[in-house]
Structure 1
Amino acid sequence: MKFDNRAEGSGLVRRRAAVGATAAVMGLSAVFGSGLMTAAHADNGATLTGIVLGVGATESQRVVSWYASANTAQVVEIAPTNKLVKGQFPEHTTTFPAAVAANKVSGGFNGHATIDGLKKNTTYSYRVGTEGNWSPTYSFKTQDFKGNFDFLFYGDPQIGSSGNVAKDGAGWADTLNVSLAANPKAELLVSGGDQVETANTETQWDAFLASDKLRQYPWAATIGNHDVGGKAYEQHFWTPNTDRSAAFYTGDANTRSGGDYWYIYKGVLFIDLNSNAYAAGADAAHIGYITDVVKNHGRDAKYTVLVYHHAIYSPADHANDSDNKQRRQDFPTAFSNLGVDLVLQGHDHSYSRSYVIKNGQKANKDEQPGAAQVVQGPGGVIYVTANSASGSKYYDLTAPDITKDPNFGPDPLNPKSHWANSVENQEHVRTYVKVQVRDDKLVVENIRSSTCAAPNAAVELGKVKWCGPDNGASAAQPVGSKVDKVVIRPYGHGDHDDQGDDHDEQAGKGHGGKSGWLK
């Protein structure tokens, strides 16, 4: 096989210098904590830790990021796994040079390299370092570059938030194991933000990154409010097509992390926002960014999926936060006009799935709570908030309160829930969200990755008083059981005659060109 030997994709190379110029971080002394025991080291080389596989700009790219103790000539070496002989790489192996930036506070370094030119349906092996000083070898598999695929969405691991990093890390690792054992062909792992509790505490990052699953499947990072206040998020995750303009990247030079970014994967345009940037004018800047991306790339996509941390139709503790009240005014009409299909969010440590929302209102007043199938119609958007994927912290559902926000009151069809939400759920068990991308539908499922038993730090440590469905009145359901499932028939996909999952695949033709929805 033949690789494109560029160190960066054309969309990334322009931004390498900018990150090197602004990189400033915390001390590296905690980087080599007990959470990652696979560091490479040689007396004449760098110690390498925190290796993570990231999403690239397209199906044929991956980004590898890591920490290093020295600024040596580091590369990513990669080859098809079937070319290795007894675990050894062939003599003439493709390498991708790393961009290595100084951590100005500590004197350490962080590196990343973009692997480009990958072939479909191929298993690759890779390692990081330099001759005589390599990391362990890891592997990943590409799949078809067109057609159906599944991805998994994880809410707020927030390692350290229970007060016990080891228990939080165990729950997070178990969710990764459970979800990927059930879905081994999942192609992306998408973050809802808040990877850790404290931005620059590397023992928390060590526990977050401890699972080799994060070196085998691409992690599409999202920055949460607990990931800001330092450089660690940006050092651990290099993201493609990232705009770090001031509106998306606030703070001084020592604490900046974030930016808005996008990528296209098998006909889905993913746009990821730094929703921590919400000062005056920031929401308008986010909308402007989405508008430009959709205008320039929407015609290449069947679906548009937005990802950001702060859930605007939050059902729990953050339901009426002032910033979320503002976003509920700023975002929904723009998202409808831009042809967004699905919005994935975190922050509230509870699960919710909205009704079809158009221009900030329920699109069909007759849509029933918990409907198993919905039709979007033009401008219809589904908003999903993910529960905790680690069990480190859960927030209980709140009752709608019009004294705090008169525009976020009860659902006439289910007054215990907020008007926007078809489903609201909290059982104090870990869950993850599976999204199936098909030509004529999206299928969204919220799936239990734990019971009330360990590892489930918030339950183990008594941070919550009950566990299980119906506020603990019913027994916990088994791992792998579904909290919620909905089939979403997007606008433009046939006649939407509610024939279920066996609906004629030909109904899906012609949904591309989402930029044509701009009004």
Structure 2
Amino acid sequence: MRFDWTQGRGVARRRVAGGAGAAVLGVAAVFGSGLMTAAHAADLAAPTGIVLGVGASESQRVVSWYSSTGTPQMVEVAPTSQLVNGEFPANAVAFSASVGANSVNGGYNGHATIDSLQENTEYSYRVGAEDGWSPTYSFKTQNFKGDFDFLFFGDPQIGSSGNVAKDGEGWQDTLNVALAANPNAELLVSGGDQVETANTETQWNAFLAPDKLRQYPWVATIGNHDVGGKAYEQHFWTPNTDRSAPYYNGSTTTRSGGDYWYIYKDVLFIDINSNAYANGSDEAHIGYITDVVKAHGADAKYTVLVYHHAIYSPAAHANDNDNKKRRQDFPTAFSKLGVDLVLQGHDHAYSRSYAIKNGQKSHPDEQPGSEQVAQGPGGVIYVTANSASGSKYYDLTAPVQGSDFGPDPLNPDSHWANSVENQEHVRTYVKIQVRDNKLVVENIRSSTCDGPNAAVELGKVKWCGPNNGTSPAQPVGSTVDKVVIHPYRGKGWDQRADVARSTPAEPAWLQQTTEGGAGTLTLTALS
């Protein structure tokens, strides 16, 4: 049942699906004055580490936090227009929290789901209980249908430079720059590695310091530096999460996070924990993605996968053994399932692939750096994000001749799968525009060579700027790479190619949007 924000205090129950089984996140309730005693409330210090997260749909948000006590807590919410002099109205809605013991710092962590939000509304919220409230924060919903933009951030990895404060400054500056330029962005999507060391709370505190993470929903992804402890999943509660044993390869070091999904407007987002890959884990992840696409793919226009380990990595991790295995395991499955876009981190450098079908380049004539791409049936675009904080950069690596990830015949300095590879040792973020008939992906500079840019300032890298530092740094807000992706929708959707055909001097492969009149992809389990 949906809560009517215009009514007085009452009780509403809600449930969110949890992957293999439904997970109840507690009761969305409105509290009377008798629920919590004054003694309990007096023991409750203001919560810390508050972060706004994505819910299962546009009408939900999840709030997570740390607390010094396990006593009952809540998130109190009201339309901002109803606050008077900063005070919440009498009919503010309170959503009860699930609070558990924290294995990291001996305290507690809590989360609550804000439900039944209305579109185009600014809400204010606070966390805690009487005599123990956090400051008040706000967020704004937008239209629940139609076009939207979201931002993708690679590896802040706070602490990896050796200077947590400098890393945190760079991270905060990227968020400020990105959201000043894109104030109506609706999601902040993570490429993983929020911190350098999984259970080091000073790093988490610096990562969570920006208030933008309480104003826009952070869509968490677990990286290899986030595993080895429980801090990641204690800081972030995610919707529809499946933590089944096969996803973890029997390893205790990867048992944090999980695979999860949600639908936001016309996009089915699926996020997997790519840290486990051997002994059947990749197959388990593919099974999860297959089940989600079968169940929910028809409810969305696009499918976007997010995970940490970039399989078409342009830099230091390009030929890691685990990535070689993922390159064998993932691409054919993703093509068969009709995935449109894959967002990855891990390599602290930027790359954008050609359209890749079944692990091969879809259109042999697609040119490096093309600004318009027609995916064709089974074509998938893979994007690797650069560092969003400046804490660590990896230089591009030379392709290994004769390997599974050798040179591009059209551009031998790059790997065969990648249309664009870039490293300038400046912070960047990726903007994705979701439109009715296209996706637009743009990599944007959020810094120059000047600070805050910890890896440059501390001498971790020896040059800065385009062309290995031989060209001057470009201004903040300038574009590194931009592409318009025309998705394949099967027979009857060729009008998307007609739009591309109107572009002057377009390559021949751009017209090839069908294969012998093939219809839509059939979503079946993979053998």
TM-score (norm 2): 0.89
In structure 1, the residue matched to 2:59 is: 60
> CA contact under 8 A between 2:407 and 2:416: conserved in structure 1?
yes
In structure 2, the residue matched to 1:9 is: 15
Q: Distance in 2 between matches of 1:166 and 1:67?
A: 21
Q: 1:377 to 1:408 in 2, by over 3 A?
A: same
- Residue by residue over 1:138-194, the C-alpha shift from the partner in whole angstroms, topping out at 9 and shown as x without a partner, is 000000000000000000000000000000000000000000000000000000000
SS in 2 for 1:427: coil
Q: Distance in 1 between matches of 2:520 and 2:94?
A: 37
Question: How far apart are 1:277 and its partner, in Å?
Answer: 1.3
In structure 1, the residue matched to 2:74 is: 75
- Residue by residue over 1:447-500, the C-alpha shift from the partner in whole angstroms, topping out at 9 and shown as x without a partner, is 000000000000000000000000000000000000000000000243313235
- 1:433 counterpart (430, 434, 452): 430
Q: How many residues align?
A: 485
SS in 1 for 2:23: helix
Matches within 5 A, 1:179-218: 179-218=178-217
Q: Distance in 2 between matches of 1:251 and 1:203?
A: 29
1:412 equivalent in alignment to 2:409: yes
CA RMSD of aligned residues (A): 2.2
In structure 2, the residue matched to 1:264 is: 263
Question: How far apart are 1:46 and its partner, in Å?
Answer: 3.3
In structure 1, the residue matched to 2:516 is: none
Q: Distance in 2 between matches of 1:471 and 1:105?
A: 41
SS in 2 for 1:113: strand
- Greater Cα shift, 314-323 or 394-403: 394-403
Consecutive unaligned residues in structure 1, runs of 5 or more:
19-40, 502-512
1:305 equivalent in alignment to 2:304: yes
In structure 2, the residue matched to 1:171 is: 170
- Greater Cα shift, 99-108 or 343-352: 99-108
Consecutive unaligned residues in structure 2, runs of 5 or more:
27-39, 505-518
Q: 1:233 to 1:515 in 2, by over 3 A?
A: farther
Question: How far apart are 1:381 and its partner, in Å?
Answer: 0.2
SS in 2 for 1:407: coil
> CA contact under 8 A between 1:51 and 1:64: conserved in structure 2?
yes
Matches within 5 A, 1:239-388: 239-249=238-248, 256-388=255-387
> CA contact under 8 A between 2:248 and 2:255: conserved in structure 1?
yes
- Residue by residue over 1:102-156, the C-alpha shift from the partner in whole angstroms, topping out at 9 and shown as x without a partner, is 1246531100000110000000000000012110000000000000000000000
Q: Distance in 1 between matches of 2:174 and 2:13?
A: 33
Q: Distance in 2 between matches of 1:452 and 1:318?
A: 24
Amino acid at match of 1:15: A
> CA contact under 8 A between 1:7 and 1:97: conserved in structure 2?
no
- Residue by residue over 1:417-470, the C-alpha shift from the partner in whole angstroms, topping out at 9 and shown as x without a partner, is 000000000000000000000000000000000000000000000000000000
> CA contact under 8 A between 2:336 and 2:522: conserved in structure 1?
no
> CA contact under 8 A between 1:373 and 1:500: conserved in structure 2?
no
In structure 2, the residue matched to 1:394 is: 393
In structure 2, the residue matched to 1:491 is: 488
Question: How far apart are 1:279 and its partner, in Å?
Answer: 2.1
In structure 2, the residue matched to 1:38 is: none
Amino acid at match of 1:468: G
SS in 2 for 1:67: strand
- Greater Cα shift, 468-477 or 99-108: 99-108
Q: Distance in 1 between matches of 2:331 and 2:410?
A: 22
Q: 1:104 to 1:464 in 2, by over 3 A?
A: closer
Amino acid at match of 2:319: N
> CA contact under 8 A between 1:172 and 1:389: conserved in structure 2?
yes
Question: How far apart are 1:5 and its partner, in Å?
Answer: 5.3
> CA contact under 8 A between 2:15 and 2:25: conserved in structure 1?
no
Question: How far apart are 1:252 and its partner, in Å?
Answer: 6.7
In structure 2, the residue matched to 1:144 is: 143
SS in 2 for 1:180: helix
> CA contact under 8 A between 1:65 and 1:237: conserved in structure 2?
yes
SS in 2 for 1:488: strand
Amino acid at match of 2:206: A
SS in 1 for 2:488: coil
Q: Distance in 1 between matches of 2:199 and 2:295?
A: 36
In structure 1, the residue matched to 2:159 is: 160
- Greater Cα shift, 383-392 or 92-101: 92-101
Q: Distance in 2 between matches of 1:7 and 1:212?
A: 30
In structure 1, the residue matched to 2:32 is: none
In structure 1, the residue matched to 2:227 is: 228
Question: How far apart are 1:514 and its partner, in Å?
Answer: 7.5
Q: Distance in 2 between matches of 1:369 and 1:479?
A: 24
SS in 2 for 1:225: coil
Q: 1:150 to 1:91 in 2, by over 3 A?
A: same
Amino acid at match of 2:428: T
Amino acid at match of 2:432: V
> CA contact under 8 A between 1:46 and 1:71: conserved in structure 2?
no
SS in 1 for 2:292: helix
Question: How far apart are 1:416 and its partner, in Å?
Answer: 0.3
Question: How far apart are 1:402 and its partner, in Å?
Answer: 3.4
- 1:466 counterpart (449, 463, 486): 463
> CA contact under 8 A between 1:7 and 1:98: conserved in structure 2?
no
Q: 1:226 to 1:125 in 2, by over 3 A?
A: same
TM-score (norm 1): 0.90
SS in 2 for 1:134: coil
In structure 1, the residue matched to 2:509 is: none
In structure 2, the residue matched to 1:481 is: 478
Amino acid at match of 2:166: K
Q: Distance in 1 between matches of 2:362 and 2:233?
A: 38
- Residue by residue over 1:56-94, the C-alpha shift from the partner in whole angstroms, topping out at 9 and shown as x without a partner, is 000000000000010111000000000001110001211
